[in-house]
Amino acid sequence: MLYVYNLLVITAGFLLKIVAFFSPKIKLFVDGRKTVFRALAHRIKPSDKTIWFHAASLGEYEQGLPVMEKMKKKFPDHKIILTFFSPSGYEVRKNAAIADVVVYLPLDTHSNAKQFLKLAHPEMAFFIKYEYWPNYLNELKKSGIPTYLISGIFRKTQSFFKWYGGFYRNALKAFNYFFVQNESSKLLLQKIGYQNVKISGDTRFDRVSGILKRDNTLNFIAKFKGSKPVIVVGSSWPKDELLLSTYINSATSAVKFIIAPHNIKPEQLHELNKSIRKKVVFFSEMKNKNLADFDVFVIDTVGILTKIYAYADIAYVGGGFGNPGIHNILEPAAFGIPIVIGPNYSHFAEAEALVHMGGCTSINTQKELNEAFDLLLQNEDVRYEKGHICSTFVQMNQNATAIIINHICPEND
């Protein structure tokens, strides 16, 4: 089975090089991996002590950040190596201050895994939430490197729990410990023979709670908002924007909108702008403009959405009309903001919980979106109550990071 897997990975790597000629994102994926070993050889000395964290993309990076920060404090003499699988994670966080080296993870071939671990020589390895690369895991196990899964989540539909999943089940033997988000994940692992499991919860709650302690001031957002309520739309996709633009066009001047699209390609921003009949200002064009005069503020940059949520009265989080589903709802929840999302959230435990508790409203149609926004705008008590549910939910689910760190590095060691 390993032979077949390696053949598939090598074939995929060859095909990706061809697709890269036609896809800018795949080109980043391919080109970014060409310099990984050179970067490691240049920045990691044989005498360096290192700890390796792997994140699939940006969301997993944010999830692992609280653990990275704690490990950095515990082991200040160690270098942090951070790898990404996806360009959407690497391109945004390639200069992350927490890490000494940020690179793409080379494709999971036997030779890549051996060379990566030879150059990185980590004393510990952390995989965040998911991504189980058999060759890397096998090499970690052979090398005796303690390996941990943090904020893991397992579902019975995964290959590990199927009759044909022996190859993948065996790869899990590399993990010294699994820190999982919920009871169902723990039970699934125990059913296939893994008892080294602890329910720690989701480290994202620690991450977003920490956001409240920093300075979230954005003077230009304050000038745009003035004294009016603001609906902040985070990580929207065209299907979200179709409903949102219809609502915006019919809304009164008593409410303002901030839209931070998931994709800030010029052609998509042009379509968004064309669909809105209110006065629109773009972040990239706001200089020398009186922001208070505009109804809609489009954020055509990355990295400031979290701070913008601090100014929101209502949040709409996009992605719920697509696959795999909604984006991060915990950031607006931490600020105590009622949230509206699309219908596709079944794989997101935090969204399921907040919908059930009433802090988050899921909509399917234009009518439902209109009703949800109108209720929250017109009834301050409902808005406050739903926001309070969200902030309490975040506060009650903190401390996953402490559980993980205390297990790996007991205070009496």
Query: Per-domain residue ranges for the chain?
Result: 23-201, 218-397
Please give the backbone phi and psi of residue 235, each rounded to the nearest 5 degrees, phi first.
55, 50
99: left (phi over 0), alpha (psi -120 to 50) or beta: beta
Tell me the C-alpha distance between 102 and 52, whole Å: 10
pTM for this one? 0.86
Q: What is the pLDDT of residue 92?
A: 87
| 271-299 pLDDT tens trace | 999 999 999 999 999 999 999 999 999 99
Instruction: Single out the residue of 213, 192, 176 nearest to residue 404, CA to CA.
Output: 176
What CATH number labels 23-201? 3.40.50.11720
Tell me the C-alpha distance between 23 and 11, whole Å: 18
Contacts of 300 (CB under 8 A, 6+ apart): 261, 264, 269, 282, 283, 284
Instruction: Single out the residue of 111, 44, 125 nearest to residue 83, CA to CA.
Output: 125
Question: What H or E segment, with its residue span, contains residue 391?
Answer: helix 380-396
Q: What is the pLDDT of residue 247?
A: 98
CA Rg value for the chain: 23
Contacts of 121 (CB under 8 A, 6+ apart): 44, 46, 48, 50
Q: What is the pLDDT of residue 325?
A: 86
Q: What share of the chain is helix, strand, coil (3-state, %, to 5)?
A: 50, 15, 35
Residue positions annotated with a catalytic role = 60
Q: What is the dihedral of CA 178, 184, 188, 189, to 10 degrees?
A: 10
Q: Tell me the C-alpha to C-alpha distance, in Å, between residue 53 and each of 79, 122, 303.
A: 11, 10, 21
| 312-341 pLDDT tens trace | 999 999 999 988 789 999 999 999 999 999
Per-residue pLDDT of the chain (413 residues; tens, 9 = 90+): 778 898 999 999 999 999 999 998 899 999 999 999 999 999 999 999 999 999 999 889 999 999 999 999 999 999 999 999 999 899 989 999 999 999 999 999 999 999 999 999 999 999 999 889 999 999 999 999 999 999 999 999 999 999 888 988 999 999 999 999 999 999 999 999 999 999 999 999 999 998 999 999 999 999 999 999 999 999 999 999 999 999 999 998 899 999 999 989 899 999 999 999 999 999 999 999 999 999 999 999 988 999 999 999 999 999 999 887 899 999 999 999 999 999 999 888 899 999 999 999 999 999 999 999 999 999 999 999 999 999 999 999 999 999 999 999 987 54
Architecture of domain 218-397: 3-Layer(aba) Sandwich (3.40)
Tell me the C-alpha distance between 134 and 102, whole Å: 22
**CB count, 10 Å around CB of 168?**
18
Copy the structure tokens of residue 80.
């942090």
Please give the backbone phi and psi of residue 276, each rounded to the nearest 5 degrees, phi first.
-105, 130
Tell me the C-alpha distance between 148 and 356, whole Å: 32
Copy the structure tokens of residue 137.
């895991």
Q: What is the pLDDT of residue 260?
A: 97
154 contacts 178 by C-beta, under 8 angstroms: no
In the block, tokens 């607006």 appear at 332
Q: For residue 338, what is the DSSP state?
A: -
Q: What is the pLDDT of residue 349?
A: 87
Number of Cα atoms under 13 Å in the Cβ half of residue 275: 19
Please give the backbone phi and psi of residue 248, each rounded to the nearest 5 degrees, phi first.
-60, -45
Q: What is the pLDDT of residue 413?
A: 47
49 contacts 94 by C-beta, under 8 angstroms: no
